[in-house]
Structure 1
Amino acid sequence: MGILKPERIGLDDFADQPVSICGKSFLAHKSGALYWPAERALIVADLHLEKGSAFAAHGQMLPPYDTRETLMKLAAMIDHYNPETVIALGDSLHDPDGAARMDQSDVESLHMLQEDRDWIWITGNHDPKIDRMLAGYVLPEIVVEGIALRHEPRPGTVTHEIAGHFHPAARLVMRGTSLRRPCFVGNGLRLVMPAFGAYTGGLNILDLAFEPLFGLDGLAVWMLGHEGLYPVAPRLLRDD
C-alpha cells in the first residue's frame, strides 16, 4: 500500500487570504490589494502617485519612479484577477496637481489598464479632485451591495465599510528581532486597507487613531510579507 503524503504547499498558497466583511467574501492579497470575487472588483487604497515629484518640488529628492512602480504593481494585480471594475479608495494622487506632473508614458500605461473595465476614483484628502486626463468615474464614495467604499473611515462603531487613509502597519518583536510591515486590519464588520503606493509609510495599528474604529475586541490583522499575506494574533502586536 502506498504511503499518503501531505500535499506540498507552495508560496503562492499564501499570496492571498480570505476576508469576510458583514458576510461578504473577499480576498486580501500580499500586495495590499483586495479582490471581491462576487463583484469581480479589485480595490486598492492610497496609491499616492507622484509623491516623489511632490517631494522633489520641496527640495527633498526621491527617485522619480514611484508612479511607474505603483502602476506596474497594479498591472500585476489586474493581470492576476482580471477584474471588471477597479476602485481606488482615495489619495490616488499625492496632491491635486499630481496628474499634471505624470510622465506621458505613465498616463498611457494607466489608460491601458483601464481598457475594457470600469474604473472608479474615490476622492481623498490629498486628491479632492481628479483630473479628467486620468479618465474613469470620480465619486466621493460608493456603496456596493451594502458595503460603503470610501477613503477615510467614519469614526465610531461603523459597520459595512472598507476604507484606507490610515496606512495601517503592524509591528512584531520575536526573538529579539523587530518586524514592521503594512497590514490589513478589520473586525469582520469593517476593514482598513494598507497603502498600495510605492512611497507610502504606515501608522502602527496600536496608535490611538485606530482605537475609535476597532478597540481590540475581535481585531483581525493580516500582515503583508514578501512571500505571502499572514494572519497575526493581536496579542503579538507591539507599538513603536
Structure 2
Amino acid sequence: MKLTYGNSQFIMHSSGSLYWPSKKVLLIADVHFGKIDHFRKNGSALPNEVSLENFKKLDRVIEEFQPKGVIFLGDLFHSTQNRDWDRFTAWVKEQSVKMTLIVGNHDIIPLYYFEDLGIKVALSLNIDTLFLSHHPEEKLGFWNICGHIHPGYRLRGEGKQQLKLSCFYKKEYQLILPAFGAFTGHFLIEPEENEDVFVLAENEVLSLR
C-alpha cells in the first residue's frame, strides 16, 4: 500500500518493512535476531526454524524491492552474541546492499562488530524532512519514523472473535513501524480519531479507514 508521509512517497509492505522509492531505501524495525536462541538457552522449547525465518523474510523483501540501502531502525539483535550472530555475519557478507543500524535499546553487542561488517552505525538520522530513530521521538520541523513499540491492533468480529495483527501506526508527525522479526509480540494500540492504522494481513496491508 502506498503512503504519503513527510512530503515523501512510501510503500508499506506486508512484511512490516517500509520502502522509500525516491531514495531506494528499505526501512526495517525490530528484527530481534537472536531472540529465539536467547529463550532456548534459558529453557524455552522454541523451534530453531523461527530464527531462520527472519533471514528468509529479509531475503524476500530485498529481492522484491532491490534497494540500494537498508536502514534498520534499532533492535536488530535481541541480546548478546549467539548462533544468530554467526548466521548474520555470513548473511551480511553475501549482500551487496549498503546497511545502516540506528541503535536500539536491545543492541548491546559492541557496535564496532557491526562496523567491522561494513554496517554504518548511528543513534539517529535526518534525511530531508524525516527524522529516523528507534524510540518514538519528536523533533521540531521533522516527521519521525521509528520502531520500538511493536504496534498491534485487535480486530473484533460480530461473533466476539478477536484477532491481533501487527500494524503500521501513523500519527500526524510520527510513523511507527511494526516489528519485522518473528516472535516479537505486540503492544496493542488504541488510535485517536485523527490517527491511522494499517494492519498486516497475510500478503496485504489494509487500512482500517
State the TM-score, normalizing by the size of structure 1: 0.79
| Pair 1:219-2:205 in alignment | no
- Does the 8 Å contact 1:185/1:220 carry over to 2? yes
1:111 aligns with 2:93: yes
The partner residue of 2:136 within 153, 167, 183 is 153
Contact 1:70 1:197 in 2 (8 A): yes
* Preserved contact between residue 51 and residue 93 of structure 1 (Cα < 8 Å): yes
RMSD over aligned CA atoms reads 2.1
Mark the runs of 5 or more structure 2 residues left unpaired by the alignment: none
Instruction: Verify: 1:229 aligned to 2:197, yes or no.
Output: no
CA pair 159-216 structure 1, distance change in 2 beyond 3 A: farther
Report the Cα offset of residue 44 of structure 1: 0.4
Q: Which residue of 2 aligns with 1:237?
A: none
2:30 to 41, 46, 49: 46
Question: Could you tell me how far 1:191 is from its partner in structure 2?
Answer: 0.1
CA distance in 2, matches of 1:157, 1:62: 43
**Equivalent-residue separation in structure 1 for 2:58 and 2:150 (angstroms):** 17
Residue type of the partner of 2:194?
A: G
The alignment status of 1:174 with 2:157, answered yes or no, reads yes
1:62 deviates by 1.4
CA contact 1:71–1:110 (8 Å) conserved in 2: no
Q: Please report how far the alpha carbon of residue 56 of structure 1 lies from its aligned counterpart in structure 2 after TM superposition.
A: 1.7
Report the alpha carbon displacement of residue 73 of structure 1 after superposing the two structures with TM: 0.3
Residue equivalent to 1:8: none
Output the TM-score relative to the length of structure 2: 0.90
Q: Is the 8 A contact 2:6 2:129 kept in 1?
A: no
- The amino acid that maps onto 2:169 is V
Distance 1:106 1:124 in 2: 17
**Which letter does structure 2 place at the counterpart of 1:183?**
C
1:39 aligns to what SS in structure 2? coil
Q: Indicate the structure (1 or 2) with the bigger Cα radius of gyration.
A: 1
1:62-115 deviations in whole A, cap 9, x for unaligned?
Answer: 1223332111101111101100110000000001x23x43264443123213x1
Equivalenced residue count is 205
SS in 2 for 1:191: strand
Contact 2:16 2:179 in 1 (8 A): yes
Distance, in Å, in 2 between the alignment partners of 1:86 and 1:227 is 21
- 1:134 deviates by 4.4
**Equivalence for 2:64:** 80
Kindly tell me: are residues 163 and 121 of structure 1, through their superposed partners in 2, closer, same or farther at Cα, counting changes over 3 Å?
same
Identity of aligned residues (%): 30
Q: What does the per-residue CA deviation read over 1:168-198, in whole Å, with 9 as the maximum and x for residues that have no partner?
A: 0011112222121000010342200000001
* Alpha-carbon separation, structure 2, partners of 1:190 and 1:173: 26
Match runs of 1:1-240 below 5 Å: 17-95=1-79, 97-98=80-81, 100-102=82-84, 104-113=86-95, 115=96, 117-128=97-108, 129-130=110-111, 131-132=113-114, 134-154=117-137, 159-176=142-159, 177-206=161-190, 216-233=192-209
The range that moved more, 72-81 or 101-110, is: 101-110
Assess if the C-alpha contact under 8 Å between 1:52 and 1:64 holds in 2: yes
Shift of 1:47: 0.2
Q: Residues of 2 paired with 1:91 and 1:152: CA distance?
A: 10
